[in-house]
Amino acid sequence: MTTRKTSLIQLPDARALASRASERVLAAADSARAECGAFHIALAGGSTPRALYELLAQSGADFAQWHIYFGDERAVPPDHADSNFRMASEAWLARGGVPAAQVHRIRGELDAPAAAASYEEELAQSFGTREVPRFDLVLLGMGADGHTASLFPGTTALSEARRTVAATWVEKLAANRITLTLRTLNAARHVLFLVAGADKAPALREVLFAREGAPQLPAARVRPWDGEVTWMVDRAAAAGLRDA
Ligand code: 6PG
């Protein structure tokens, strides 16, 4: 089975992108809660999603049945300036609404392999299965090099076929990261990529219009075996698509 559907939605700017993404997230939550009484969403890190998280915080939505996870984390404590958890907390989670026990943080303060093992166990407990967890929605960003989550080109985590969470050394950053693996990302029911900025345009073109047989950038390898992928991109990031 392959990705059921891939959609591309272009928005004028990052603000419009955040607004449309918040509508999509809230709709996905309503659908999941109606279907099975809970909504399991993995958040993206970096800077692009902050505006989305701020809109969710202001939405007045009922988060009581939401379970929040993270697609990746830097190997830093939760109060560190680089922490994805800190960014999401400041923009949304610390303002309340999501029960604390339903916010599943990657423990970046541990050494990376221990943090990965700990998160793998937390996912198994939270989803109630030793099989790969199937997120209702995974939010992802993309770097100018085509990385997504902390799956960077040329890193060991990209080839991890068994684990659901991996620790990975990222040479270009000279840093450890903890990340959901492609096995987990590709088990998702919905993946929503949020990509903004002119610097992403070359990678976005390569990911969406990869030449047959060309080596795939990490973001191009996110192809849920029974799920949908939506790319929400701003005009600047889409600049390379017009003549594709
Ligand atoms: C991270 C993210 C990473 C991010 C991209 C895009 O931990 O940094 O998971 O994959 O989504 O690097 O980042 P920006 O949104 O800041 O451009």
Is residue 133 pLDDT above 70, yes or no?
yes
User: SS3 of 103, please?
Assistant: strand
Q: How confident is the model at residue 243 (pLDDT cuts 50, 70, 90)?
A: confident
**CA distance linking residue 71 with residue 105, whole number of Å:** 10
210 band by pLDDT with thresholds 50, 70 and 90: confident
Closest CA to ligand 1's atom 7: 45
pLDDT of residue 170: 97
CB 166 within 8 A of CB 157: yes
More confident of the two residues 4 and 55: 55
pLDDT tens digits for 146-165? 999 999 999 999 999 999 99
Mean pLDDT over each residue of the chain, to the nearest integer: 96
Question: Can you tell me which atom of ligand 1 is nearest the CA of 196?
Answer: 17
Asked whether residue 103 carries a pLDDT value surpassing 90, the answer given is yes
d(CA 140, CA 78): 20
Confidence of residue 1 (pLDDT cuts 50, 70, 90): low
Instruction: Indicate the DSSP class of residue 216.
Output: P
Ligand 1 centroid from CA 41, angstroms? 17
CA of 141 to the centre of ligand 1 (A): 5
Pairing between β-strand 175-180 and β-strand 165-170 as defined by DSSP bridges: antiparallel
pLDDT at 81: 98
Centre of ligand 1 to C-alpha 152, Å, is 11
- pLDDT of 182 reads 98
With a Cβ cut-off of 6 Å, ligand 1 is lined by 44-48, 71-72, 84, 141-143, 147-150
Average pLDDT over residues 227-243: 95
Structure tokens at 175: 């840093």
| String of DSSP letters for 120-158 | HHHHHHHHT-SS----SEEEE---TTS-BTTB-TT-GGG
Domains and CATH numbers, the chain: 4-241 (3.40.50.1360)
Is pLDDT above 80 for 4? no
User: What whole-number distance in Å separates Cα of residue 182 and Cα of residue 41?
Assistant: 16
Q: Mean pLDDT across the stretch 162-187?
A: 98
Average pLDDT over residues 190-209: 97
SS3 192: strand
Which atom number of ligand 1 is nearest to the Cα of residue 151? 10
Q: Taking CA 178 as the corner, what is the angle to CA 172 and CA 183, rounded to the nearest 5 degrees?
A: 105
Helical H segments across 70-218, by residue range: 84-91, 112-127, 182-185, 201-208
Q: For position 242, what pLDDT does the model report?
A: 83
The residues facing 118 across adjacent strands are none
Rounded Cα distance between 3 and 185, Å, is 12
- Asked if 223 and 207 touch (Cβ cutoff 8 Å), the reply is no
Q: Give the other-Cβ count within 10 Å of 133's Cβ.
A: 22
Answer with the residue of higher pLDDT: 111 or 213: 111
Query: Is the model's pLDDT at 244 over the cut of 80?
Result: no
**What is d(CA 61, CA 130) in angstroms, rounded to the nearest whole number?**
31
% residues pLDDT > 90 (the chain): 94
Reply yes or no on whether the pLDDT at 213 is more than 90: no
